[in-house]
Chain A
């Protein structure tokens, strides 16, 4: 599971609380994109689970 932060450049992987930058060369970021496309839960910065539609919109903003 992942959670967005108040900053727009990274996401928290909640299994180990690391902060993953939105850098295409970062392999954790590559895995994050695969995971949420495969249905792994993504929360916004307030902790609310995002809908598939919201995730699709969010994905379109990523590098």
Chain B
């Protein structure tokens, strides 16, 4: 599928074709876990505390310094520019306090790109390919912002900087980065092939000169704007794309269902499952995932389970789930804390409430 090429671009490089972006959910349209709700990140948190939109994680050395949310307002100042560029959604960061970052602090939004999707960039070799990162950014602050590209071991970093010259105005950014010819980079595996970080505030030991590969972990260029340093400050992001080549090309719009399926390799919700009673308190149910997952997933519940037995509902008193067996393709789960379950009797997922419960499967990077 050919995509529209920006006027004046004459390169015949394959970067202009569809599926060129290594970023998944770059338009921030998918929010399976948070479902649009505000999330307050924790340190080393869970999927529920660190993801407002699919595939974009957040890392913080101190908890609760900002919130993240998918598109809290559709009519933010200057929204017409975003909408005109074709983006309905964005990822919003709002600072919760005026925090002075310590030397070792970092506050970041990131996406880890799976090795299977970066192996052709052959980073860590003399043939390393040049990549271009492009995105739309917006902030209540102005100045030099930044981020970095890193390997999975976090011992190779390329800090980059960009300018947001006018507050509350969507600005399109493009950064071209020569591939790293050094270091150890994950190849065609299900590990993290490349990590893209967007900085919200990093200490001096986490920052270094922009525009060059460095040994060690650096999340930001020296002197970058600290979003967490101003209470109420905002930083918005959308249209994130990382592609092979020296130029940013038009955004790689993919069908919603396709983008959702790409996300479901890393996180998915399951409903409509069935099983049978194990004893008076437990049921077992089988799961066949919507798509094969990156790794055997962490399995949880969005709320207590509600199941049906010949039309009579049974509800867990509290969440209790474990897995007798699980792979990247499916699982047998065991849920407890019911009462009145009959052994071997069939039980069915049944929840007509406004927020029906679901099984959560997370295999994020």
Contact = CB atoms under 8 A, between A and B. Distances in A.
A18 B360 contact: yes
B325 interface: yes
B322 A5 contact: yes
B75 interface: no
Given A25-B191, A27-B364, A19 B324 contact: no
A27 B46 contact: no
Q: Interface size class for chain B?
A: 20 to 34
Nearest to B320: A17
Q: Among the interface residues B191, B294, B296, which one has the most CB atoms of the partner chain A within 10 A? A: B296
B295 interface: yes
Contacts of A23: 295-296
Interface stretch (B85-93, B99-107, B298-306): B298-306
Given A15-B46, A26-B295, A21 B326 contact: yes
Contacts of B297: 21, 26
B3 interface: no
Contact count band on A: 20 to 34
A21 B323 CA distance: 8
A5 B299 CA distance: 14
A53 interface: no
A20 B326 contact: no
Interface string A24-54: 0111110100000000000000000000000
Contacts of B326: 9-10, 21
Nearest to B326: A21
Interface of A: 5-7, 9-10, 12-13, 15-21, 23, 25-29, 31
Given A9-B324, A17-B319, A26-B298, 19 more contacts: A7-B322, A7-B324, A10-B326, A12-B322, A16-B300, A17-B300, A17-B321, A18-B299, A18-B321, A19-B298, A19-B299, A19-B321, A23-B296, A25-B190, A25-B191, A25-B294, A25-B295, A28-B46, A28-B298
Interface of B: 44, 46, 48, 190-191, 294-301, 318-326, 333-334, 360, 362-365
